[in-house]
A and B are shown apart, each in its own frame.
Chain A
């Protein structure tokens, strides 16, 4: 991200999936995430053997990722993470499949998809992100501007 953009807020518009307004620090991955067999729902830690986020937790983070892959236990594991208070604070994803849609719905955290620009190109881990799950508007403050 260039210096000129870094001081201003970047605004993305997407399709609102789960309502609510939250803000928090972004955790970004360009790799899809597995639920069952891919995360520990008690801590929100990614456990997949060769995943770039292995060992990192999405608990209380704004998780920015392409979407869900792997087992059909995806929604159940994110559901469990929510009940263990280890779910992401919000989820921004770019590819809808049934695992992702159902998972977002049962996680109850504000969720947005189908953006006007690719959030994976714009948001970096550590950026501050405000997510409005009612309108689909996402505001990003770059880490180096904070």
Chain B
């Protein structure tokens, strides 16, 4: 062991505070040493995964939720009792929407397992937000706050847009952090590691979320895990645009931090974003790069008949629910297609009150919470061709399901659901 421990951390590791916290500290020490971290930092904001709905994990639930927690959240073969959380912790996206008849039918007891997990871990302090976007439903860390978050799209949002500090954690490290309030002080927890490395000159107008998604997807391949500083024709950055941009960049590369000078909090100017770092490389995103990215994102799509349209990756904001309802109002989803829209449970409540859910359902679409097709692996039966408005979903869905996937605007996607035909394109 080379990571330095405080007296409290030594006590945790020695089992003074119980078996679960001892196992948690054991994992965190192995992890910190693998990273080469010198010490831990204290965190009071954890976003992770506790519940079970994946069929591969079902066997472990037979031995109770403590067996699930021990193996998957602490990497402990020995089953230990799950203590109450010490850090503020929340559950991210899950495997199934229990209210969906299709998903219930297709996944057997997954919904019941998930609900049992919610009850068990919820009682022990895990807030059941059940979304990939905890920052949309109340978990908004302050600037400089040390966090331990999973979900690559939430991590990049947390670092870049909120100015809080987290690495991309995993199920085991967040589980351990939730009961010890400790995470390795490494990577993005350290201020010097948060400065820009690459300057990106955006030469084409980037406005709609489709364009922000393409820019992010292209950038992820270009910079991988480095820290891009975006400059140029970025039209009115907003929460939903940055949500789509970051999710895409985190999927194609592994971008965990970026700066948009004038918009994101650690970059008042381009100069400020680099804070003395040498600009390692200047990249240009123009019409050629945009077209190539569009072609990459549509590379799995061949047939124009669309069986299934999915919107809401990362989970839709209420503004996006409004846009879908407005585009769909008075139209009908084709009998040969389906439209599923995904949003956090708390936002669905607002969508219900606004009447957006009713408009979408009247048109034959569905509004789902808690999950997404890539996580749940659930799509309407027989789906061969999908269409999405998310570069992240276009990256993962064909790989996971084997289906073809079209990528376009919300309007292109809704039109495809209504006509059953893909007529989208790069405009």
Contacts and interface: CB of A to CB of B under 8 A. Distances in A.
A104 interface: yes
B383 interface: no
Contacts of B167: 97-98
A134 to B, nearest CB: 13
B250 to A, nearest CB: 8
Interface in A44-69: 47-50, 68-69
A41 interface: yes
Given A97-B168, A102-B172, A49 B187 contact: no
Contact of A98 (B49, B71, B186): B186
A76 B72 CA distance: 7
Contacts of B30: 105
B169 interface: yes
Contact of A69 (B172, B224, B374, B396): B224
A37 B399 contact: yes
B139 to A, nearest CB: 16
Interface string B44-57: 00000100000011
A76 B171 contact: yes
Main SS class of interface, A? mixed
B253 A76 contact: no
Interface string B153-174: 0010000000000011111110
Nearest to B251: A70
B361 interface: no
A79 B170 CA distance: 11
A84 B395 CA distance: 26
B31 interface: yes
B249 to A, nearest CB: 11
Interface string B65-91: 000000110010000000000000000
B151 A72 contact: yes
B170 A75 contact: yes
Q: How large is the interface on A (under 10, 10 to 19, 20 to 34, 35 or more residues)?
A: 35 or more
Nearest to A18: B34
B299 interface: yes
B150 interface: yes
Interface in B16-57: 27, 30-31, 33-36, 49, 56-57
B56 A38 contact: no
Contact of A49 (B31, B155, B300): B300
Contacts, number: 108
B400 A72 contact: no
A142 interface: no
Interface string B205-232: 0000000000000000000110000000
Interface string A80-122: 1001100000000001111101111110000100000000000
B374 A84 contact: no
B72 A101 contact: no
B94 interface: no
A98 to B, nearest CB: 4
B246 interface: no
Contacts of B251: 70-71
A47 B399 contact: yes
B169 A72 contact: yes
Contacts of A75: 170-173
Interface in A11-28: 15, 17-18
A97 B400 CA distance: 24
Contact of A106 (B57, B172, B250): B172
A97 B152 contact: no
Contacts of B31: 101-102, 105
B27 A72 contact: no
A128 interface: no
A72 B56 contact: no
Given A73-B170, A79-B75, A38 B152 contact: no
> Residue among A37, A70, A76, A105 with the most chain B CB within 10 A?
A105
A102 B56 contact: no
Contacts of A49: 299-300, 395, 398-399
B374 A79 contact: no
B170 A74 contact: yes
A143 interface: no
B13 to A, nearest CB: 16
Nearest to B253: A69
Contact of B187 (A42, A98, A103): A98
By Cβ-Cβ distance, the 4 closest A-B pairs, closest first, are A75-B170, A101-B34, A72-B150, A98-B167
22 contacts: A38-B399, A42-B56, A49-B299, A50-B299, A68-B254, A69-B253, A69-B254, A71-B251, A72-B149, A72-B152, A75-B172, A79-B72, A83-B56, A96-B36, A97-B168, A97-B254, A98-B187, A101-B35, A105-B34, A105-B75, A106-B75, A106-B170
Given A72-B170, A98-B169, 17 more contacts: A37-B400, A41-B56, A50-B299, A71-B152, A72-B149, A72-B150, A73-B150, A75-B173, A76-B49, A76-B172, A79-B72, A97-B254, A98-B167, A102-B34, A102-B170, A105-B34, A111-B34
